[in-house]
Chains A and B, each alone.
Chain A
Amino acid sequence: MVTNVSNSKHGHLGEEPHTPASSAPSSERTGKRVVALLFIATGVTAAAAAAVMPVLIAGDNGQPLAQQEGAVLAGLVAGTAALLWFAVLLCLLRPGERLAADVHLLANSKAGNGRVDPEDYPDLAPLPDAINALAERLATSRRDLDRAIVDTARCQAEHSSRLAAVLRDLDEGVMVCNLDHQVLLLNPAALRLLHAGEAGETGSGAPLPGRALFSLMLADPVCHTLDRLSRRGSGEPTQPGPSARFIGGTPDGHVLLDGRMSLILDDGPPVAAEATVTGYVLTFTDATRELAALGRRDALLHATTEALRTPLANLRAVMETLEDCPDLEGEARTHLEAAMLGECQALTARLERITEQYRATIVGTWPMSDLRSHTLIDLVRHRIAGRRNIVVTPAGMPCLLHGDSFSLVVLLDHLVEQVSLVTGATAFDLAADAAARWTYLDLSWAGERVPGTTIDRWKTESLAATLGGLTVGDVLRHHRSDLWSEAQPDGRARLRLPLPPAEEPAEAAPRPVPDLIDPSSFPAHQQPPPATDLASRPLQDLEFVVFDIEATGANPIDGDEIVAIAAVRVVNRRILTGETFQALVNPGRPISPEAVRRHGITAQQVHNHPNITTILPQFKAFAGNAVMVGHHAGLELAFLRLREHACGVRFDNPVLDTRLLSLWLQGQNADHSLDGVARRLGIATIDRHTALGDCLTTAAVLVAMLELLPDRGLATLGDVLREADKLLAFDAKESLL
């Protein structure tokens, strides 16, 4: 019997049941039959001999006694043979059969720790011990093999994850293809560069890995390069990893690619033999801009050299003619003089064009990217902090612009210091203002504007040593920009720095996010009239905290909880982007899929964050007694007020709802969603459907409305709240009807 070392039940080795009887080889059965036949033949022969022997000894006159003795002897011999057969069968053949079955089990067992019990086969000793020794060796080999497989798999998984990380972080697109030009592997950058979208969501609907390469990339350059590399190897050993550069493109011709192809060679053949190409790796970058810039540089070079030669030749010829022929008179002289003037004008115009092209080329070659204005402003603020008691306050609506972040930060730092030296101002606002053609960076202060001659002098000054001696003017030129200072109302002045707007759109087309809010469900912010002094103060003088809440769903009464709160302070019609509140909150309950689609915050993102009892008091401390402003403030407030008691805080601040204000300004028929209102007021939105992004958009809406409301007769907070109450009452009636 076989014993499993870890599981002492007999005969259970591994998971594969083995039935030795049914699978006993036919040779074994044949062998047993031969042994049995041999025994029968031996027995019959011995019995016959025993029967005949007495008769032969008795001679020719055989006696009956001798015949009887012969019969008895024959019977004894036959009986002995039969007994002997049974003994062999029981002691050797049957145990041998069982032992063979056990050895089969050992050989086929996956457990690998079985052994044969020698006590089960006492007559076959020392065969079981020999088999156990063999089984032990087999088990050891199997364990080594398993360990090697596991190690190899782990090693391969590590390599794969490292490779995946490298590929994911690469800015270059990478694709691995087979010789049928099917994509086997590609990284996110490849998807982005080829404008192929997410896997499986492309035009043809085929998932990207496995998809035909030539639906993503022009076939000819790839085939040509592959052919070139393959031919290079013919007749001589193919060098490991041969590669070549090529210029490719997307089939729609919109993107030019600077690519490199490397062949994947079969590892198998010896060094001397010609290696087999099994596929290729493509790495590529978007060269559209570089090639366009190269083209522009080439055109510029042409313009500055060859294109100037002709007018210069004309001019020189005319002047030399006039000089060599002083006595030239009449029509010829008039023509030549007119030609001289014409050529001078043509040269001037050409010079202007060259200058313009040069500027465009400089901008095209300086490393620039899209930047978030508030990040840039924050960097400036931190760089200046503490120096000469200068304080820079970030203000305005965040937007995107295009430039070189580092040189702009150094430039703004320098400008703040220069303005401070010239005007004596120490408190500055730094804001971005997105207009149609430019995005302005405005540095403003209380005081006089800076004279133009002073700014012209600044342009020749070198910036910090870190910029390699670049001057203010150089940085401005690289950004195709300029600087000027102008007086502002309220005794303020500003320095304007126009910058190119972002090249990428601020936001992709708005996601089709269903509005979770039914405006009529939460008209809940009817509020007691504010203190008289607050109610009578002009709107522009109030301090506002614009806030936005994201939640697990849209129904606070039925248990939906807050997952994120963000807020920004607005003072003197300035959005103080440096004074914001942002917190993620663990809601202690699942987040509905609709809500996740809307704000993108998942349970995993919030599960390590504090719960609302921690966050709400912090938020109240930030809000203080400011007027709180929200778009659909009713719903937002419902979330806050339902948790007031549990958190030990009270939100009794006056509240403004920008949706109600929009309703009051535009009437019932306009689009009063936040996107609709922002669009109408010409406010570019970024990071919509994030709590901070939404509240910055709401803040910009509020600032724009603060300009409009006094002209429409709402000058104080009291005025606004009275009209809001009327609108709420009207809304309530409408919903009843």
Chain B
Amino acid sequence: MKPTILVADDEPSILLSLQVLLQKAGFLVRIARDGEEAMAALEESMPNLILLDAMMPKRDGFDVCQTIRANPAYKDLPIIMLTAKSRDVEREKGMALGATDYITKPFSTRDLVSTVRKYLEHGQT
């Protein structure tokens, strides 16, 4: 069975691009356009990995990440945060709130797909 990736971002361009590229890479892709949609999608069925944008309407990525980690059922779910915030302290914050990795925009989609593969193969470690 193909692994499922939940992509949460409010930017339609990147959402569409990641959807196309991840599907081409052999993943099932579900999308969410804000923090609340992301939580709803998660509750519906657990994905194998989440690509989570930090700045989203309704609930930001940090909040979503913290809520997910508060639930022991999602303890081992890899969460990769995508963000335009480049300061070290933002990265620190993302990692402290439970992100598995933190990728700063703009990024290479090829590298991103490799990173996704890596976490799916090896888990959070």
Q: Which residues of A contact B (CB under 8 A)?
A: 305-307, 309-310, 312-318, 320-321, 324-325, 328, 332, 335-336, 339-340, 342-343
With A310-B11, A324-B24 given, is the CB distance from A336 to B84 under 8 Å?
A: no
Q: Contacts of B104 on A, CB cut-off 8 Å?
A: 309
For A310, A313, A328, A339, which residue has the most chain B Cβ atoms within 10 angstroms?
Answer: A313
Q: B71 on the interface (CB 8 Å rule)?
A: no
For A305, A314, A332, which residue has the most chain B Cβ atoms within 10 angstroms?
Answer: A314
Tell me whether B106 and A305 are in contact (CB under 8 A): no
Tell me whether A317 and B86 are in contact (CB under 8 A): no
Tell me whether B107 and A335 are in contact (CB under 8 A): no
Residue of A nearest to B82 (CB): A313
Complex partner residue of B12 from A316, A328, A339, CB under 8 angstroms? A339
Tell me whether A306 and B24 are in contact (CB under 8 A): no
Complex partner residue of A310 from B17, B20, B105, B109, CB under 8 angstroms? B105
Tell me whether B13 and A317 are in contact (CB under 8 A): yes
Seed contacts A305-B86, A309-B105, A318-B16; 19 additional CB < 8 Å A-B pairs: A306-B85, A306-B86, A309-B84, A309-B104, A310-B55, A313-B106, A314-B13, A314-B14, A316-B106, A316-B107, A317-B14, A317-B17, A318-B14, A320-B109, A324-B21, A325-B20, A325-B24, A339-B12, A340-B13
Complex partner residue of A321 from B11, B20, B55, B82, CB under 8 angstroms? B20
Docked complex Cα distance between A309 and B85 (Å) = 8
Tell me whether A328 and B109 are in contact (CB under 8 A): no
Within 8 A of A (CB), among B76-107: 82, 84-86, 104-107
Q: B125 on the interface (CB 8 Å rule)?
A: no
Closest CB of chain A to B10's CB: distance in Å? 10
Docked complex Cα distance between A340 and B105 (Å) = 16
Closest CB of chain B to A333's CB: distance in Å? 9
Q: Which residues of B contact A (CB under 8 A)?
A: 11-14, 16-18, 20-21, 24, 55, 82, 84-86, 104-110
Closest CB of chain B to A526's CB: distance in Å? 81
Q: Contacts of B84 on A, CB cut-off 8 Å?
A: 306-307, 309-310, 313
Q: Contacts of B105 on A, CB cut-off 8 Å?
A: 309-310, 312-313
Tell me whether B12 and A321 are in contact (CB under 8 A): no
Report, nearest first, the 8 A-B pairs whose CB atoms are least far apart.
A313-B105, A313-B106, A309-B84, A317-B17, A339-B13, A314-B13, A321-B17, A312-B106
Docked complex Cα distance between A129 and B16 (Å) = 119
Closest CB of chain B to A163's CB: distance in Å? 46
With A321-B21, A336-B17 given, is the CB distance from A316 to B109 under 8 Å?
A: yes
Tell me whether A314 and B86 are in contact (CB under 8 A): no
Complex partner residue of B20 from A305, A307, A336, A343, CB under 8 angstroms? A336
Residue of A nearest to B85 (CB): A306
Q: Contacts of A318 on B, CB cut-off 8 Å?
A: 13-14, 16-17
Docked complex Cα distance between A307 and B55 (Å) = 12
Closest CB of chain A to B34's CB: distance in Å? 15
With A310-B84, A325-B20, A325-B21 given, is the CB distance from A320 to B13 under 8 Å?
A: no
Q: List 20 A-B contacts (CB under 8 A).
A: A306-B86, A309-B104, A309-B105, A312-B105, A312-B106, A313-B82, A315-B13, A316-B107, A317-B17, A317-B21, A317-B109, A318-B17, A320-B17, A320-B109, A324-B24, A324-B110, A332-B16, A336-B16, A339-B16, A339-B17
Docked complex Cα distance between A317 and B84 (Å) = 14
Complex partner residue of B108 from A309, A310, A320, A342, CB under 8 angstroms? A320
Closest CB of chain B to A183's CB: distance in Å? 41
Docked complex Cα distance between A343 and B13 (Å) = 8
Closest CB of chain B to A348's CB: distance in Å? 16
Docked complex Cα distance between A343 and B106 (Å) = 13
Docked complex Cα distance between A148 and B116 (Å) = 88
Tell me whether B107 and A313 are in contact (CB under 8 A): yes
Tell me whether A309 and B86 are in contact (CB under 8 A): yes
Tell me whether A335 and B86 are in contact (CB under 8 A): no
Tell me whether A316 and B20 are in contact (CB under 8 A): no
Docked complex Cα distance between A316 and B104 (Å) = 13
Complex partner residue of A342 from B13, B106, B107, CB under 8 angstroms? B13
For A305, A339, A340, which residue has the most chain B Cβ atoms within 10 angstroms?
Answer: A339
Q: Contacts of B108 on A, CB cut-off 8 Å?
A: 316, 320
Residue of B nearest to A320 (CB): B109
Closest CB of chain B to A437's CB: distance in Å? 36
Q: Contacts of A332 on B, CB cut-off 8 Å?
A: 16, 20
Q: Contacts of A312 on B, CB cut-off 8 Å?
A: 105-106
Tell me whether B85 and A317 are in contact (CB under 8 A): no
Q: Contacts of A324 on B, CB cut-off 8 Å?
A: 21, 24, 109-110
Docked complex Cα distance between A306 and B110 (Å) = 22
Closest CB of chain A to B39's CB: distance in Å? 22
Tell me whether B21 and A320 are in contact (CB under 8 A): yes
Residue of B nearest to A305 (CB): B86
Q: Contacts of B14 on A, CB cut-off 8 Å?
A: 313-314, 317-318
Q: Contacts of B17 on A, CB cut-off 8 Å?
A: 314, 317-318, 320-321, 336, 339
For A310, A316, A320, which residue has the most chain B Cβ atoms within 10 angstroms?
Answer: A310
Docked complex Cα distance between A192 and B29 (Å) = 65
Docked complex Cα distance between A260 and B104 (Å) = 40
Q: Contacts of B12 on A, CB cut-off 8 Å?
A: 335, 339
With A310-B11, A310-B84, A316-B108 given, is the CB distance from A335 to B24 under 8 Å?
A: no
Docked complex Cα distance between A305 and B12 (Å) = 21
Closest CB of chain B to A90's CB: distance in Å? 104
